[in-house]
């Protein structure tokens, strides 16, 4: 009974943390910013999306010309979700490092896709929220303005002062941009194992997890072991050696962890797409 009480207390703390993070995010940022006029841009499957004009100065998921950063991997994830939709009524995507939204806009293609989008940079998360609203997919996308790691803690997110928001990293050894020209954002982080206990409804199944966190992927996987064993989702993760070096991670650490969880991976540029041999 004492153990059950402790677990319940942990879940209540996680729930409270998420609630207050969203409350603070909504208080400090104008969620209607940019809604008065979006830019039309090409998405996958000949779909068009509307984008907040602030993307021009932020970039990340989209470049300054409002072009999708990596349509190949977005299409790859969509195809995996589509394949699973043949066996179930709806699917769930966990988007870690959502930035201003590319994967998180997949409900534009199919309203049977539900997304939980994690983006700890509040200024960028505000643009993501605007993009979700501009495309009228609020019922499909839940934005969580916190980070994901291997434990519950506070981390410093290093953010470049230029418009390359996609290079922001928790890694202390900044290599992808000039460390003299950066700002830091104090970021609340938690494990995916803890977070899924709160955000998922009973019976819900995670189908795909996408991780693009500029070197922090290994620590996120460490904190997601039980989630991966239980849900057996496909995983798309960035596998950039320079990014990993920023966070003190060796590529073999990720390979060993995924192999130990019975995942097999294929390389797509600087990304790995992994599926478990015990997948559903």
Condensed to tens digits (0 to 9), the pLDDT of residues 148-184 reads: 999 999 999 999 988 889 999 999 999 999 988 899 9
Judge whether residue 22 has pLDDT over 80.
no
pLDDT at 35: 46
- CA pair distance 140, 179, nearest whole angstrom: 37
Residue 74 to residues 60, 122, 251: CA-CA distances in angstroms?
14, 23, 23
pLDDT in tens, 179-221: 888 999 999 999 999 999 999 999 999 999 999 999 999 999 9
CATH number corresponding to 2-276? 3.40.50.150
Backbone dihedral angles phi then psi of residue 179, each to the nearest 5 degrees = -65, -15
Mean pLDDT estimate for the chain? 90
Judge whether residue 138 has pLDDT over 90.
yes
pTM across the whole model:
0.88
pLDDT at 2: 56
């Amino acid at each position: 009974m004492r153990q059950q009480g402790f677990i319940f207390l942990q879940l209540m703390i996680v729930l409270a943390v998420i609630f207050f993070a969203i409350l603070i995010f909504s208080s400090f940022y104008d969620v209607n910013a940019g809604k008065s006029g979006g830019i039309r841009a090409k998405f996958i499957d000949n779909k068009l999306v509307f984008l907040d004009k602030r993307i021009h100065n932020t970039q990340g998921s989209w470049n300054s010309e409002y072009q999708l950063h990596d349509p190949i991997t977005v299409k790859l994830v969509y195809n995996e979700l589509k394949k699973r939709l043949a066996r179930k009524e709806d699917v769930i995507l966990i988007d870690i490092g959502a930035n201003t939204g590319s994967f998180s806009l997949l409900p534009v293609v199919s309203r049977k896709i539900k997304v939980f989008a994690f983006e700890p940079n509040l200024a960028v998360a505000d643009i993501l929220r605007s993009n979700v609203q501009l495309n009228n997919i609020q019922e499909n996308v839940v934005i969580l303005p916190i980070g994901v790691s291997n434990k519950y803690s506070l981390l410093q997110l290093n953010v470049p002062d230029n418009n390359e928001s996609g290079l922001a990293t928790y890694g202390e050894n900044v290599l992808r941009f000039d460390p003299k020209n950066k700002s830091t954002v104090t970021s609340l982080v938690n494990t995916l194992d803890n977070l899924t206990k709160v955000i998922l409804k009973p019976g819900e199944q995670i189908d795909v997890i996408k991780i693009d966190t500029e070197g922090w992927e290994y620590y996120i996987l460490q904190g997601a072991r039980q989630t991966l064993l239980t849900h057996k989702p496909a995983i798309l993760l960035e596998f950039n050696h320079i990014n990993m070096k920023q966070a003190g991670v060796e590529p073999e650490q990720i390979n060993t962890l995924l192999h130990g969880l019975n995942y097999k991976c294929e390389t797509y540029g600087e990304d790995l797409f992994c599926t478990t041999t015990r997948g559903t």
